[in-house]
Chains A and B, each alone.
Chain A
Amino acid sequence: MSEIVLEIKDLSTHFFTDRGEVPAIEQVSIRVHKGEVVGIVGESGCGKSVTSLSIMQLVPSPPGKIVSGEINFKGEDLAPASEKRMKKIRGNEISMIFQEPMTSLNPLFTIGNQMIEALRIHQKVSKKEAREKSIEMLKLVGIPRAESIIDEYPHQLSGGMRQRVMIAMSMSCNPELLIADEPTTALDVTIQAQILELMRKLNKEKDTAILLITHDLGVVADICDRVIVMYSGQVVEEGTKREVLKDPKHPYSKGLIRSIPKLHGREEKLYSIPGTVPKPKMDRIGCRFAPRCEFAFERCFKENPGLYPTGDGRSSRCFLYDKSEGDKKINAATNKEATIGG
């Protein structure tokens, strides 16, 4: 494997609210290699966005706070880094794009103004050079008549165009890592296809690592190399795209994949996971997914599962894969699944 760009170890971010401490993410560990596209998937409230904001130290504080863990970026721990240091890193070495391109662009300044500002802060370039570079970036992301668009305001552009501008801006300083938080969720499918194509191209050409946060497994299948599945603030499963999507190990990933209506093939009744996502609380005992899990047994409600290896270099936060439980459990689970028609 190529060198590691980002390594998050046991990161926990809690929110200190009037009603007490709320753990948004707990002991999250993620690794991103150079030039790799890693997807974090999960439903709302699973902590995927808090993870990305924690890396950039953009979690609103108070109430949010990184309580433990390391964020190693090229050998430097960003968790205790000062605001001054973070300003150097944000937008330069790690940049980020958000779901809603309208709210992340300032409506009062032209596109050029905002792009040039980012370049001038991070790189020693003249205004003229910065403008030329900006036009070049806009052309790279496929914006027509870049020379005139650069003097226009965000409201003059469509949603897809704005997201292209955001990508151009985030890529202008050649970052090592691009964090994309639901970059295509607000866009239509035909525009989403354009943006994914663009991200794939930039990843190939510039070798930028991408950490993609999404709820859409289709997007994961389209663009990611590796996938991390999160549930209720924890990583529950990790593996390559093919492994996780074709052969999910954790009961939650299994259920999630089965509950998506298929575009190809036919099915009569849609599988659905019963119940809803639990609210995060301190000192919870037992597997977070146990109340909704069809394979849950006694131990799931009494102990917190760790990440157990599933045998092929992957891991799953599920007691079914704990060696001390023996093979019986796994076999029982797979048999049960086979009878359901998994």
Chain B
Amino acid sequence: MQQQIKKPLLEVKGLKKYFPIKGGVFGRTVGEVKAVDGLSFNVYEGEILGIVGESGCGKSTAGKAILRLIEPSEGSVRFEDEEITSLGAEEMRRLWRDMQIIFQDPYASLNPRHTVEKIIGEPLLIHGNTSKKERKDRIKQLLEVVGLNAYHASRYPHQFSGGQRQRIGIARALANNPKLIICDEPVSALDVSVQAQVLNLMEELRDEFNLTYVFIAHDLSVVKHISDRVGVMYLGRMVELTDKDELYDNPKHPYTQALLSAVPDPDPDIEKERIILKGDVPSPADPPSGCTFHTRCPVAMDICKQVKPDFLPIEDNHFVACHLYHEEQQNISNNNLVKEGAR
């Protein structure tokens, strides 16, 4: 595969982000919300890695923790072979030229009091030693790249529609020619017809500027459309990660299977076996023992309640965290259980 020849642009290993729960009279920490709990994956140069999951699975937190917009609790993030979790503030700022983010809500992520020129020009001002004239030209150029007009520069965000605002957000992210863009639900606030325009734009930009995306979304069809590889998250961990077609045609993890079967298809002729999961996603403040999915899993076994399954490859490029596919781990832990029982 192409990706194996390429080297990873971003390597995430054992990333964790715990949020403290304060309580009691003195505001002591009484617990932790395990928003991201041991996340590992690689992103290769030029690819689009999709990350899907339901609300509360930690996908957005993961995106922000990778950029250190929120400080990760544990784990390693390597960008171009450089460990970034230990970098100082100034070095981090330099890195943000290469790593950018696009947010979900184009209404909330643009300052309503700034003109588009100021919004897009700010990253140029912070990072580049550019003259006023150069900045003006670059802003014009960026606006045209994302399908807006140069005369839009003097307008304010409220004068634009949702789709146009998201284009402004994209232009801002592109300002300093980044290598990696983390897209956090970039199209979920948009209507379908506008969503298609923005998705096409993002694909064109990827080809034109050789960008790498981490595309975080909850919509499985959108992720399928845009991604090269897709990872599925559940309660702060990745449960399955593989090539797009493999994941959608041949899902291995019971959660992926249920998730895919739950998506209503606009084609009325597609008859599918629907796996309806019982209950809700458990609270990340008190995740279930063993495999966190065992409380809703239709094929849960005894071992699932006790042992956390490792995230291991079962085929080339197909990683799954499920005991169904990891017999070795099962055997080892069975032995351990026997030993424990013997004691």
Partner-B contacts on A (CB < 8 A)? 43-44, 158, 160-161, 188-194, 196-197, 215-222, 241-242, 245-246, 255-257, 259-264, 266-267, 269-274, 276-277
Contacts and interface: CB of A to CB of B under 8 A. Distances in A.
B262 A193 contact: yes
Given A190-B54, A262-B224, A263-B221, 4 more contacts: A43-B192, A194-B276, A219-B264, A246-B267
Q: From DSSP, what is the main secondary structure of chain B's interface residues?
A: helix
B177 interface: no
Interface string B130-166: 0000000000000000000000000000000101100
5 contacts: A193-B276, A246-B267, A255-B193, A263-B248, A270-B199
B262 A189 contact: yes
Contacts of A188: 54-55, 218, 281
Interface residues of B, number: 42
Contact of B276 (A197, A219, A273): A197
B260 interface: yes
B222 interface: yes
B266 A189 contact: no
B25 interface: no
A285 B268 CA distance: 36
B214 interface: no
A271 B195 CA distance: 10
Interface of B: 54-55, 161, 163-164, 191-197, 199-200, 203, 218, 220-222, 224-226, 245, 248, 258-270, 274, 276-277, 280-281
A260 B274 contact: no
A139 to B, nearest CB: 15
Given A161-B280, A270-B199, A259 B264 contact: no
Contact of B195 (A161, A242, A259): A259
Contacts of A260: 192, 196, 221, 266
A273 B280 contact: no
B290 to A, nearest CB: 20
Contact of A192 (B161, B197, B262): B262
Contacts of A267: 225
A270 B225 contact: yes
B191 A191 contact: no
A264 B266 contact: no
Contacts of B225: 261-262, 267, 270
Contacts of A262: 221, 224-225, 267
Given A161-B280, A188-B54, A189-B218, A221 B196 contact: no
A253 B324 CA distance: 44
Contacts of A245: 266-268
B259 to A, nearest CB: 6
Contacts of B54: 188-191
B266 A218 contact: yes
A219 B219 CA distance: 13
Given A215-B191, A272-B200, A263 B55 contact: no
B267 A221 contact: yes
A333 B224 CA distance: 31
A217 B266 contact: yes
A259 B258 CA distance: 25
A193 B193 contact: no
B221 A160 contact: no
Nearest to A259: B196
